[in-house]
């Protein structure tokens, strides 16, 4: 159960977030944003729906807005390696390479064996190869 405004099974929260990503993939950004905002209101202590909002704006090329949401997620949970990695990604695409690299390295240090580190390391590899 995820505690928030009401207790919600974690599987239902995950399903709602997946619906938001499905809308995002279908280019229905308004619907995706509504779902992510709804989940954020339902579980206000969680940074995950805020990260999802950042990813939505990143997918639209709105990197400043994406970075804002990742920073908001980090305010909610300063230990979120995932939010840190996505903040680094947004910084890279804002051509703030040194800041992006530092954020990605911090994400790796926060959870060296986690999925966020795998994501961050792939971005660091792309940066080193000159792809980004």
**Separation of alpha carbons 84 and 91, rounded Å:** 11
**What pLDDT is attached to residue 24?**
98
**Separation of alpha carbons 96 and 107, rounded Å:** 16
In SS3 terms, the chain reads as CECCCCCECHHHHHHHHHHHHHHHHCCCHHHHHHHHHHHHHHCCCCCHHHHHHHHHHHHCCCHHHHHHHHHHHHHHCCCCHHHHHHHHHHHHHCCCHHHHHHHHHHHHHHCCCCHHHHHHHHHHHHHHCCCC
pLDDT > 90 in the chain, percent: 92
Domain residue spans of the chain: 10-128
Mean pLDDT calculated for residue range 63-77: 98
Inter-residue contact 82 to 51 (CB < 8 Å): yes
**Separation of alpha carbons 44 and 16, rounded Å:** 15
Considering the domain delimited by 10-128, tell me its CATH architecture. Alpha Horseshoe (1.25)
**What pLDDT is attached to residue 2?**
61
Mean pLDDT calculated for residue range 47-62: 98
Residue 114 has pLDDT above 70, yes or no: yes
pLDDT > 70 in the chain, percent: 96
Residue 50 has pLDDT above 80, yes or no: yes
**Separation of alpha carbons 11 and 90, rounded Å:** 29
Q: What is the pLDDT of residues 80-113, one digit of tens each?
A: 999 999 999 999 999 999 999 999 999 999 999 9
**Separation of alpha carbons 35 and 125, rounded Å:** 33
Q: What is the pLDDT of residues 15-41, one digit of tens each?
A: 999 999 999 999 999 999 999 999 999
């Amino acid at each position: 159960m995820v505690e928030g405004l009401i207790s919600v099974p974690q599987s239902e929260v995950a399903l709602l977030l997946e619906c938001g990503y499905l809308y995002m993939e279908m280019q229905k950004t308004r619907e995706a944003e509504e779902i992510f905002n709804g989940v954020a209101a339902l579980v206000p202590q969680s940074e995950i729906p805020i990260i999802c909002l950042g990813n939505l704006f990143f997918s639209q090329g709105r990197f400043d807005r994406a970075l804002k949401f990742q920073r908001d997620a980090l305010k909610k949970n300063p230990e979120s390696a995932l939010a840190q990695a996505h903040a680094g990604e947004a910084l890279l695409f804002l051509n703030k390479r040194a800041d992006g690299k530092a954020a990605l390295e911090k994400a790796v240090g926060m959870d060296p064996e986690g999925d966020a580190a795998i994501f961050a390391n792939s971005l660091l590899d792309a940066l080193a190869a000159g792809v980004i």
